[in-house]
Amino acid sequence: MSDPLAATEERRAALADALRRVRERISATGTDPTLVVVTKFFPASDAAALVDLGVTDIGENRDQEAAAKVAELEAGGRRPQRVHFIGQLQSNKAAHVARYADVVESVDRGKIVTALEKGARAAERRLDVLLQVDLGGDDAGRGGVARAGLSALAERVAESDVLDLRGLMAVAPLGEDPEAAFAHLADLHARLRQAHPEASWLSAGMSGDLESALAHGATHVRVGSAILGARPVAR
């Protein structure tokens, strides 16, 4: 019987090559972050090939697509160690995300916390949570808590009996200098850690700006297109 998760030989070679180049970019910075490979829009066979290549963490941003992909990976014995949910959350979807995600990086309001708690309890799971911070810029609508709301939201998660506060996530605003945005983020992270030393993760940096994020203390980078290629639809 053929393996439904088998990518073509050519695709596997391309993924291996691109993954190696990204790992080289990371190691050139002298840091050793967790590489979260963002597989949104790409098939489970690609994610399976990446797991075979040693990828431990994958990122997804839409509930339906993510749930189906994780189920396929599990059925094929290729579930990655950690599945990160990195997309904007609606409160009616958050409980469902809690069933399969290990890390939810995009928590930006209390309603989402409550919904994740409900889902985590129902599934008898614990979840690692990152608070997504809005770093400003013109591209509104990418989500994130404003800095004024950050400490209250952190308290809310820290009090939870099923969620573990792990740190912050952010996307550098489009069309702005990522250096300045990541410096600001590092400052917010340092302050958060004074109140919550356990919140040591900083998820920042994507295909185009990972070096800059790592220079500002990122512990997790989320890389999609540099490994999988251009996505079929601009997001």
The residues of the shown chain that bind ligand PLP, judged by CB under 6 A, are 38, 40, 61, 86, 171, 206-208, 222-226, 235
In the complex, the smallest distance separating the C-beta of residue 1 from ligand PLP, rounded to whole angstroms, is 34
In the complex, the smallest distance separating the C-beta of residue 2 from ligand PLP, rounded to whole angstroms, is 30
In the complex, the smallest distance separating the C-beta of residue 147 from ligand PLP, rounded to whole angstroms, is 18
Nearer to ligand PLP, 61 or 212 (CB): 61
Nearer to ligand PLP, 14 or 162 (CB): 14
Nearer to ligand PLP, 139 or 155 (CB): 139
H or E element at residue 65: helix 63-75
CA dihedral over 70, 73, 75, 81, signed as positive or negative: negative
9 contact partners, CB below 8 Å, separation of at least 6:
none
Angle at 32 between CA 44 and CA 187, to 5 degrees: 105
Answer left, alpha or beta for residue 144, where phi above 0 means left and psi between -120 and 50 means alpha. left
In the complex, the smallest distance separating the C-beta of residue 213 from ligand PLP, rounded to whole angstroms, is 11
Nearer to ligand PLP, 72 or 105 (CB): 105
In the complex, the smallest distance separating the C-beta of residue 22 from ligand PLP, rounded to whole angstroms, is 9
CA dihedral over 154, 158, 163, 164, signed as positive or negative: positive
Nearer to ligand PLP, 86 or 199 (CB): 86
- Report the distance separating Cα 164 and Cα 16, nearest Å: 33
51 contact partners, CB below 8 Å, separation of at least 6:
58, 73, 78, 79, 80
With beta carbons less than 8 A apart as the criterion, state whether 135 and 172 touch.
yes
> Which residue is nearest to ligand PLP, using beta carbons?
224
